[in-house]
């Protein structure tokens, strides 16, 4: 399945049906009076977030979505049939933006969440509603209310608990493959990963979702390489795992390069908890790996782990650190939510 994380679609609800101008005509009834029915209501355009989707590829082949119009009213006070609504299914994590690509309409972050994007027009009233003591035979009915229509952008931001960042060929795909049943493409050249990959990690009978995004290079925020197009997929992560190839000549400079690109993209990524690890530890002698670890740890002032996706070295330790960060972040948000509602800790 191809990956597509952005699409532009046109949506239009159904207009309401017109009311009817009709009069009751039956044998032996001299003054039948008006009996025009109301028009039916137009259908709505509804968005629904579903769990079994992780790409917007379907919207490459269908860009127009139109709900059914309401039917006109009829005589004998018969109301027109309402138009059928349409439901557009989108992946969980989809943002809906206005045509300017900046105004956020809705963020679909919960499975089963629905949102009425365009409301159908109400049906017009028939001439029965306009009868009065001074107007016994009204020849007036209302037109149905117009439909709503718009162009919107759909932007997918995958829902993951932790995200992998680093330069191209830093071992992120190997780490994901060693951590889960995901099978990303792995090769010895940069930019092997061209779109985000997800994997479910199981550690100590607990599960979390790990995301691997294409590697960043210096100048990515200016569009070099693949740019920062896919960084939106880790905005929702609780923690970032920063992998650095242990064979890098200057691991501190490598670390700062990626951090600068994250900062240029959005402060929210820089402020997230971070786990730093030297990857591909199986490619160097243990004493050389330890030397690199000490250089990096001293240069950035953070604890540095050592991992190898091939030998599984340090993988479980990283998993447990990720799990602890996820738990603490969720607990912190829960406490903030309770305080916002007036609960005392």
- Point out the annotated binding site for Mg(2+): 173, 193
Where helices occur in the chain by DSSP H, the ranges are: 172-179, 251-265, 267-270, 286-300, 315-340
Residue 90 to residue 158: CA distance in whole angstroms = 12
pLDDT at 242: 92
Closest CA to 96 of 7, 225, 185: 7
Structure tokens at 108: 């679909």
Residue 112 to residue 91: CA distance in whole angstroms = 10
**Mean pLDDT (10-residue bins), the chain, 345 residues:** 79 95 84 90 95 85 94 92 95 91 91 94 93 88 94 87 85 84 62 71 85 72 60 82 89 89 81 89 88 90 88 88 86 68 49
Identical fold between 1-156 and 162-340: no
Q: At what angle do helices 315-340 and 172-179 cross, to 10 degrees?
A: 90
At residue 210, what are phi and psi to the nearest 5 degrees?
-115, 135
CA torsion sign for 236, 183, 192, 195 is negative
Contacts with 239 (C-beta within 8 Å, 6 or more apart), sequence order: 161, 162, 163, 272, 273, 274, 275, 322, 325, 326, 329
pLDDT at 339: 57
CA torsion sign for 110, 95, 44, 11 is negative
| Residue entry with tokens 């100048």 | 219
CB atoms within 10 A of CB 283: 14
pLDDT at 1: 46
**Residue 20 DSSP label:** -
Residue 42 to residue 146: CA distance in whole angstroms = 9
How far lies 40's CA from each of 22, 23, 125, 316, in Å? 16, 19, 9, 61
**Residue 302 DSSP label:** S
pLDDT at 345: 45
Bridge partners of 116, per DSSP, are 46
Report domain extents, the chain: 1-156, 162-340
Structure tokens at 156: 């997918």
Homologous superfamily of the 162-340 domain (CATH): P-loop containing nucleotide triphosphate hydrolases (3.40.50.300)
Contact 250, 283 (CB under 8 A): no
- Point out the annotated binding site: 166-173, 191-195, 212-215, 279-282, 308-310
| Domain 1-156 part of CATH 1.10.10.60 | no
Contact 93, 6 (CB under 8 A): no
Structure tokens at 112: 């089963």
Residue 206 to residue 37: CA distance in whole angstroms = 60
- Point out the annotated binding site for GTP: 166-173, 191-195, 212-215, 279-282, 308-310
CA torsion sign for 257, 259, 261, 263 is negative
Q: What's the chain's Rg over C-alpha atoms?
A: 29
Contact 264, 231 (CB under 8 A): no
Closest CA to 121 of 89, 153, 147: 147
- Stated as kind and residue range, the H or E segment containing 114 is strand 114-118
pLDDT at 175: 85
């Amino acid at each position: 399945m191809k990956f597509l994380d952005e699409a532009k679609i046109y949506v239009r609800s159904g207009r309401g049906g017109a009311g009817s101008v009709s009069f009751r005509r039956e044998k032996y009834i001299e003054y039948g009076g008006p009996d025009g029915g109301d028009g039916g209501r137009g259908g709505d355009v509804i968005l629904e977030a579903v769990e079994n989707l992780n790409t917007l590829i379907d919207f490459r082949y269908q860009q127009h979505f139109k709900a059914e119009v309401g039917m006109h009213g009829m005589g004998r006070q018969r109301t027109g049939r309402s138009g059928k609504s349409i439901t557009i299914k989108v992946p969980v994590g989809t943002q809906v933006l206005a045509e300017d690509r900046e105004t956020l309409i809705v963020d679909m972050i919960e499975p089963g969440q629905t949102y009425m994007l365009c409301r159908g027009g109400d049906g017009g009233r028939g001439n029965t509603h306009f009868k009065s003591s001074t107007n016994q035979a009204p020849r007036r009915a209302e037109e149905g209310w117009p439909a709503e229509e718009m162009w919107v952008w759909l932007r997918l931001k995958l829902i993951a608990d932790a995200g992998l960042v680093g330069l191209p060929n830093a071992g992120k795909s190997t780490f994901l493959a060693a951590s889960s049943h995901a099978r990303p493409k792995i090769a010895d050249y940069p930019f092997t990963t061209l779109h985000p990959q997800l994997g479910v990690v199981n550690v100590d009978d607990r599960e979390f979702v790990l995301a691997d995004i294409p590697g960043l290079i210096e100048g990515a925020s200016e569009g070099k390489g693949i740019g920062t197009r896919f960084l939106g997929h880790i905005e929702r992560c609780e923690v970032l795992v920063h992998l650095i190839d242990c064979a890098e000549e200057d691991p501190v400079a490598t670390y700062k390069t990626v951090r600068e690109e994250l900062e240029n993209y959005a402060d929210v990524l820089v402020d997230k908890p971070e786990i730093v690890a030297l990857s591909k530890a199986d490619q160097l002698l243990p004493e050389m790996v330890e030397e690199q670890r000490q250089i990096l740890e001293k240069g950035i002032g953070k604890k540095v782990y050592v991992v190898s996706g091939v030998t599984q070295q340090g993988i479980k330790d990283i998993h447990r650190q990720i799990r602890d960060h996820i738990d603490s972040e969720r607990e912190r948000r829960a406490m903030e939510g309770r305080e916002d509602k007036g609960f005392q800790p």
